[in-house]
Amino acid sequence: MEAFSDGVFAVAITVLVFGLRPTGNGTLTQQLLHSWPQYLAYVVSFITIGIMWMNHHTILAHVARVDRPLLVLNLLLLMGVVAIPFPTALVAEHLQHKGASATAAAVTYGLVMIAISFGFAGLWIYVVTHAPSLGASLPPEALRSSIPGFTGGLIAYVVGTLIALISPLAAVIIYGALGVYYLFEHLPSPSSEAEPDPADG
């Protein structure tokens, strides 16, 4: 399952490059400068998918055995991750258009992120609640202690989506910040003795 998931993450993060191409009028230099929302959307989505991959990896590292429900939950999560280039392209194209289309693009981005947050929560809750049968060594407290971090991230994506109604650009910056947030608010590592994590120290 991990090889397949890694492949999906790798392809999804790489196809983001198709969102980069000069648009608008004028010389090529003017077009390249004018296309800054593409670069912003590329960076935000690249960091987001990359950090999602890390956290996905951390979740699966707890698991020694895989069952069908876990595969299905993983598939539903990947369905959201694979979709990310879609709202990324919307934001890249419409962020500069004042008004309703920029808002629609940023709201769509937020809705995809909210769906993915539920996907991650579902996968993690399943792993923790089925720890013994999955060969995981997680105590039930692991779930409770990770709930605030997950819930906080989900609420922040909802707030970001609401802010998109007022300022689409601010919302996109919030989405990028949330990617970085998940870098630090990470799950318990599977074997903290074997892999000391300097970020914790």
Residues forming the site for a second copy (CB under 8 A): 2-4, 6-18, 20-22, 27-29, 32, 42-43, 46-47, 50-51, 53-54, 57, 65-69, 71-72, 75, 78-79, 82-86, 89-90, 94, 100-101, 104-105, 108, 130, 133, 183, 186, 194-199
The closest alpha carbon to 113, from 59, 72, 166, 163, belongs to 163
Query: Based on CB atoms, which residue is closest to a second copy, 21 or 144?
Result: 21
Burial of 68 (0-12, 13-18, 19+ CB in 10 A): exposed
Which of 146, 145, 133 has the alpha carbon at shortest distance from 63? 133
CB nearer to a second copy: give 15 or 155: 15
User: In this complex, which beta carbon is closest to a second copy, that of residue 104 or of residue 169?
Assistant: 104
How near is the Cβ of 197 to a second copy at its closest, in Å?
Answer: 6
Give least dist CB 145 to a second copy, A: 19
**Min dist. Cβ of residue 120 to a second copy (A):** 17
Minimum gap (Å) between residue 37 Cβ and a second copy:
14
Is 90 or 154 the residue whose CB approaches a second copy more closely? 90
Q: How far apart are CA 160 and CA 17, in angstroms?
A: 25
Q: Produce one character per residue of 109-131: b if its CB has 16 or more CB atoms within 10 Å, e if not.
A: bbebbbbbbebbbbbbebbbebb
Minimal distance in Å, beta carbon 141 to a second copy? 23
* C-alpha span between 170 and 140 (Å, rounded): 38
